[in-house]
Amino acid sequence: MATIRLGTRGSRLALAQAGWVADRLREVSPSTDIEVVVIRTSGDVIQDVALGPEHGQSFFTKEIEDALGEGRVDVAVHSCKDLSTLLPPGLTLAALPAREDARDVLVSRAHRLTDLPPGATIGTSSVRRERFLNRARPDLVVRDQRGNVPTRIQALDDGQFDAVVLAAAGLHRLGMGSRVTEYLEVDVMVPAAGQGALALEVRVDDARTCGLVARLDHAPTRAAVEAERSCLRRLGAGCQAPVGALGRVDGGDVVLEAAIPSPGGVARTRISGGVGAPDVVGTLAAEDLLCQLGLGSLREADWAGLPPGRPGAYP
């Protein structure tokens, strides 16, 4: 029996996602043995401080991609929002399965964002979420919060925070959707590019695995996510840049909404174009945002964080 090894992080959410992928692969190829291989990433190791540019990039994907490139695993299972827009040479995204809810959510004892009292503390590890929160409620105190989803929820329950902001998809996949007190709509907080989607990465020269994994690809999700990732590439946005981008397929078009909360305000755009050219839609959206900001690239802005590295390079 042929074996396919799935590389994943070891968090409860990552294992749930890898388990879902394993089940889908068994459905499309019952004769294939699917093995889940846990790989510890730098993002899992560095837990005592906020992840900043001084710690490098690709915190949750580099070690898994290394294992894939070296042949220690056959498929890398990523949360798509963690994946750099610049893939290492020899690797490709064979599938973007159907997306979960892409929105950010509030989990709070006060129910909604508008219900939180002045000075309330909100936990998040995302610069993007922090910047959008500062725009929506500048009276709140945003504190860095690391850890997996259950740990962050427990910190709220223990009274360390008044609210936390998380991805809806993670809570849903863990069966914790009942903890959501408010879904944050795009006018309040634009999700990260790729949020809610899984990315299944394989070696380009592994035709058998690529063909099998490609059967899990969901065309509308791929079109939307490719538009989002193209936007990030043109922006020159690194993994910590405060950029929100959310695409959707509407008939024969891809519609992309993107926003950047900068020190001078929030630049926003909405671009649509043919579903067959999502990269064009993403590029046009990025150019509109950069025009509003007066920049040629986010690499020119200190507030945008570390720019992405070249393919195969991890500072």
Distance from C-alpha of 167 to C-alpha of 165, rounded to nearest angstrom: 7
Q: Buried b vs exposed e over 210-238: b needs ≥16 C-beta within 10 Å? A: bebbeebebebbbbbbbbbbbbbbbbbbb
Tokens of 168: 């809806």
Are 113 and 77 in contact by the 8 Å Cβ rule? The answer is no
Distance from C-alpha of 267 to C-alpha of 260, rounded to nearest angstrom: 5
**One-letter identity of residue 283:** T
Q: How far is CA 262 from CA 32, 106, 130, 236, 304, in A?
A: 49, 22, 11, 15, 8
Are 19 and 36 in contact by the 8 Å Cβ rule? The answer is yes
Tell me whether residue 104 is one of the annotated catalytic residues: no
Distance from C-alpha of 28 to C-alpha of 197, rounded to nearest angstrom: 20
Say how many Å lie between the first and final Cα of the chain, rounded. Answer: 40
Three-point CA angle 192, 196, 200, nearest 5°:
105
Q: Tokens 């009942």 — which residue?
A: 178
**Active-site choice (23, 66, 74, 82):** 82
- Alpha helices, DSSP H, located in the chain: 12-28, 42-45, 62-69, 127-136, 149-157, 168-173, 207-213, 219-235, 278-293
Tokens of 220: 């509308």
Q: Tokens 């290492």 — which residue?
A: 88
Nearest Cα neighbor of 143 from 118, 158, 162, 157 is 162
Residues serving a catalytic function are 82
